[in-house]
Amino acid sequence: MSRVEIRNLRKTYSVPGGSQVVALQDFSLDIATGEFICLLGPSGCGKTTALNIVAGLLKQSGGEVRVDERKVTGPGPDRAYVFQDYALFPWLTVAENVAFGLESQGWQKTPRLERARAILAVMGLDKFADAFPKQLSGGMRQRVSIARALAVNPKVLLMDEPFAALDAFTRAQLQDELLSIWEALNKTVLFVTHNIDEAVQLADRIVVMTSRPGRMKLVVENDLPRPRDVTSPAYLERVNQVRASLGEEMGLGHHKTYRGLADILGAGVPAPAQEGASHVAN
């Protein structure tokens, strides 16, 4: 069976001054083959740290990660990574970018570009195979980056807030496309996000994380049938459930009044609106 086992992962950093900061601790997770997992939490909760350790980009301070029983000691062809900022090479064409993983594995030019073009064709990007990344929009760049990760046929897809920089419409389309790819290939996906809606939409299980120090707070089984209807009561209830579990993290229930601010700005009470003020529309 092909699966990811994460055992008691811990990561500490030394900061200037000699003290240690705990970025991640007590992180354990068993991911089944073909399972879609979202790591959800605020920034600084260690979710990307956990992802990078699984990727082999970062060394853990303690614990271990196994993919198909094999201990992770560094990056490997069984795992591919999709970066938040796409990380495409501007000097390579779209097809060459998609083929970069294959090139790194020693594939010859013709077969690797053929494979890249075939993948791009399925994703409706074949028109842009010979374009440079700068000619593409953010959404298309991220799709190329996903194609690059898929091209090496990894067992596990690691994704670090891949859609965070996109507008809401493009994000919705890419989420849809990612699910189509996932259903077609049955890849195991570990997906980091800070977007509750995104997690509920995509994941089989949502790992809710908490910061300072980064650790797991709870795991939400997200068994809503697919395709998920984002307007259904069950969906909204799930979103609310996750949101409530994140409540403290989001600072909810600690409403601040900021009374002093008005004093600093020289107005104890709100000033009446002025006639003809020109900056109102801004």
Partner 1 sequence: MSPIDATPATVAEHGPRSVMDRLRGPRATRFAHAAVGYLFLVGVILLWHLAASTGIYPRHLLPTPMEVAQAVREAFADGDLIHNVMRSLERQVVGYVASVIVGLPLGLVVGWSRWTQSALQTTIRIIYPIPGVAWVPLAILWFGLGFKSIIFAIFITAVFPILVNTAAGVAAIDEQYIRVVKVFGTKPLRAFLRVVIPAAMPFILTGLRLGYGTGWRVIISAEILAATDGLGFMIDNARWQLRPDLVIGGMLIIGIVGLLVETVFFDWLERRTIGRWGMQRTD
Residues at the site binding partner 1, with contacts judged by CB under 8 A: 55-57, 75-77, 79-81, 83, 85, 87, 89-92, 100-101, 103-105, 123-125, 127-128, 131-137, 139-140, 143, 152, 170, 173-174, 176-177, 180
> 216 Cβ partners below 8 Å, 6+ apart?
26, 27, 28, 29, 207, 208, 209, 210
User: Which CB, 31 or 125, lies closer to partner 1?
Assistant: 125
Rg (CA), the chain: 22
Alpha carbon distances (Å) from 231 to 109, 149, 245 = 47, 32, 21
Do 207 and 29 meet the contact criterion of CB atoms below 8 Å apart?
A: yes
| Min CB(56)–partner 1 separation in Å | 8
DSSP secondary structure code for residue 225 in this structure? P
User: Which CB, 41 or 133, lies closer to partner 1?
Assistant: 133
User: Which CB, 36 or 81, lies closer to partner 1?
Assistant: 81
| Min CB(10)–partner 1 separation in Å | 22
Specify the 3-state DSSP secondary structure of 100: helix
| Min CB(234)–partner 1 separation in Å | 26
| Min CB(223)–partner 1 separation in Å | 25
| Min CB(187)–partner 1 separation in Å | 15
Backbone torsions φ then ψ of 22, nearest 5 degrees: -90, 115
User: Which CB, 6 or 158, lies closer to partner 1?
Assistant: 158
- Whose tokens are 């994000």? That residue is 171
Diameter of the chain by CA atoms? 73
User: Which CB, 45 or 98, lies closer to partner 1?
Assistant: 98
Do 168 and 137 meet the contact criterion of CB atoms below 8 Å apart?
A: no
Do 157 and 189 meet the contact criterion of CB atoms below 8 Å apart?
A: yes
User: Which CB, 134 or 279, lies closer to partner 1?
Assistant: 134
Give the separation between CA 201 and CA 199, rounded to whole angstroms.
Answer: 5
| Min CB(91)–partner 1 separation in Å | 4
